[in-house]
Structure 1
Amino acid sequence: MASVTSPSSVNTQGSPTQAPAEKPSPPPIDILPSQLAQAYSYVHPAVLLGLYAYRFEALVADPVRELLADLPWLAALQISFVMLCLPPAGSTSTEAGAGAEEEKKKAPKSPSGPLRHGKPGYRRKHSSGKSSWACFFAKLMPAFLSFALTSLLATPLIAVLLVLFGAPLTTHNAETILCAAHMALLSATGLVYVHGVEASVWKEVWGIARPVDAVWGSALGTGLGAWFGAIPIPLDWDRPWQAFPITILTGAYIGYAVGSLVSRTPLLYGKRIEFAPEQAEEEEKKTN
């Protein structure tokens, strides 16, 4: 039975015979606290949906050409999103947000009188410029690394999953690969950017056991949206938009947007989906 639980509800009591405690799971990922990051984190899903809706007719007319043409734009938007709104692997949103605040506090205030000792105001401005560029490149490299890993690893894996779940094997190969590439950019770019290649995190991802946050929620929403998007394909409606993979990709985009927003609400944020046996079975195991 699936149940949603909070990390704080886990039993912490120990005993001398227990095995050593495992490494604690990384906490849910917060959007960076800057006003720009907070605002754009809500605008980004709307931008993706708006662009998809704008190009939908072209997608129906020629799926392969349109999916290929839209791929660079999707990659650019996803890279911009992770760099602007998410903390890179090895840091936390608190640390990233605190960094700018600490620099503001440490920066010496300009004197009320005339500047002395060789224009210190100019030196502060020059140093701030260096710090800004260093911060930019510190985010740029993980962003491109996440894009590379998503393209090389996530895209083929999702393509195989699409075939296993019913996509044509001997035909529509270009559509399958391009659909997988779009889904990979939507779901995996943020996960790789904030978690890197940490094995414990990816075990939770594949086990659907990550604490709910904007990154995990958007990835899960992409998968669920694609699943529900496949429903109209076998229906005998004879509509051009029912062709593979249009409805699957439409569901993936909608699921990404809904998941990234709903996962940040207090109802779901920080909770886990845990698959546990029934209470009666637990009691029976304890008595045996």
Structure 2
Amino acid sequence: MASPNSPATAAMNSPGSTSQAPVEKPSAPPVNILPSQLAQTYSYAHPVLLLALGASRFNALVENPVQELLKDLPWLALLQLFYVLLCLPPAGTTVSVSDGPSGNDTKSARSRKPGYRRKNSGKNDWAGIWAKLMPAFLSMSLTFLLATPIIAVLLVLFGAPLTTHNYETVLCAAHMALLSASALIYAHGVEASVWKEVWGIARPADAVWGSALGTGLGAWFGAIPIPLDWDRPWQAFPITILTGAYIGYALGSLLSRTSFIYGKRIQFAPEQEEEEEKTKTN
């Protein structure tokens, strides 16, 4: 029997022992773009392409928002589906060949023996394709079934008309959901700890989280011109909100991959003070 002063007893009674403080599950790491040259190139071209398409259809959006939003929705869904399949690892997998934001690293290739050649069977190829298609279709389904209604409710809570412009609100929410949620669901699935960080704005910066956060912030700033008394046709709801969301998506996707932002988190001063007070108390 161990004595009260034995090292084992002291370890069990220590403040940092695992018996008293449960070990928290580590946060999911930042999502890296797949290391292939095609994925790397298109990951930068994708947000620029969305901006170019949005700019080319802006006049039509001003003339008839409902018709244009409905017409563009399938194309946006296809572009987002192509983006996640080509550039992102599906939920449950990681890009082990990358240690940085770009995903360029030839460590695994250099470690192979001379003359090494990977053998792929047809069965393995189909399994790999299915492993990407399944989470892709799941992400699209959850985007329309869950993310779109949630964003529509948030738009109303933040000032969108409740009794009028219902089609505009739902279509705007669908566009914003595809921009912000489709890649998040594809890369992280429905893992509770990740979505807790998403709603708490505590995810480490990467292309997926940066584009989602940029979409929300862009829509927020895009609402500023609506109440201004300029009498311009493009001030009608939800034109400026959606324009801001697209611009925010592009900026968030590109800036979050830079070396001085990638992997970092947004820090809130009150939380830091609380942690320091807890540390002093313990």
Alignment TM-score, normalising by the size of structure 2: 0.84
Gaps of 5+ in 2: 1-14
Give the C-alpha shift of residue 284 in structure 1: 6.6
Residue among 152, 157, 160 paired with 1:159? 152
- 1:58 aligned partner: 60
- 2:226 aligned partner: 233
- 2:127 aligned partner: 134
Give the C-alpha shift of residue 20 in structure 1: 1.4
* Deviation string, structure 1 residues 14-65 (Cα, Å, up to 9, x no partner): 7237511111111111001111111100000011111111111110000000
Give the C-alpha shift of residue 129 in structure 1: 4.5
- 2:49 aligned partner: 47
| Maintained 8 Å contact 2:35/2:97 | no
Residue type of the alignment partner of 1:148? S
| Maintained 8 Å contact 1:32/1:94 | no
- 1:19 aligned partner: 21
Describe the shift of the 1:128–1:62 C-alpha distance in structure 2 as closer, same or farther (beyond 3 A).
same
Describe the shift of the 1:94–1:281 C-alpha distance in structure 2 as closer, same or farther (beyond 3 A).
closer
Give the C-alpha shift of residue 95 in structure 1: 6.8
* Correspondence 1:53-202 to 2 at 5 A: 53-94=55-96, 127-202=120-195
| Alpha-carbon distance in 2 for matches of 1:148, 1:278 | 35
| Alpha-carbon distance in 1 for matches of 2:273, 2:46 | 45
| Alpha-carbon distance in 1 for matches of 2:186, 2:142 | 10
The sequence identity of aligned pairs, in percent, is 75
| Alpha-carbon distance in 2 for matches of 1:194, 1:165 | 28
- 1:34 aligned partner: 36
Gaps of 5+ in 1: 1-13, 111-123
Q: Secondary structure at the match of 2:89?
A: coil
Alignment size in residue pairs: 258
Q: Secondary structure at the match of 1:219?
A: helix
| Maintained 8 Å contact 2:226/2:240 | yes
* Deviation string, structure 1 residues 245-266 (Cα, Å, up to 9, x no partner): 0000000000000000000011
Q: Secondary structure at the match of 1:272?
A: coil
Give the C-alpha shift of residue 128 in structure 1: 4.5
Residue type of the alignment partner of 1:260? S
Instruction: List, as ranges, runs of 4+ consecutive aligned residues in structure 1 with deviation greater than 4 Å.
Output: 95-98, 105-110, 127-130, 278-285
Describe the shift of the 1:93–1:54 C-alpha distance in structure 2 as closer, same or farther (beyond 3 A).
same
* Deviation string, structure 1 residues 119-157 (Cα, Å, up to 9, x no partner): xxxxx6xx5454333322211111000000010000000
Alignment TM-score, normalising by the size of structure 1: 0.82
User: Relative to structure 2, which stretch is displaced further, 274-283 or 57-66?
Assistant: 274-283
| Alpha-carbon distance in 2 for matches of 1:182, 1:84 | 20
| Alpha-carbon distance in 2 for matches of 1:284, 1:271 | 23
Describe the shift of the 1:33–1:282 C-alpha distance in structure 2 as closer, same or farther (beyond 3 A).
closer
Residue type of the alignment partner of 1:263? S
CA RMSD across the alignment: 2.8
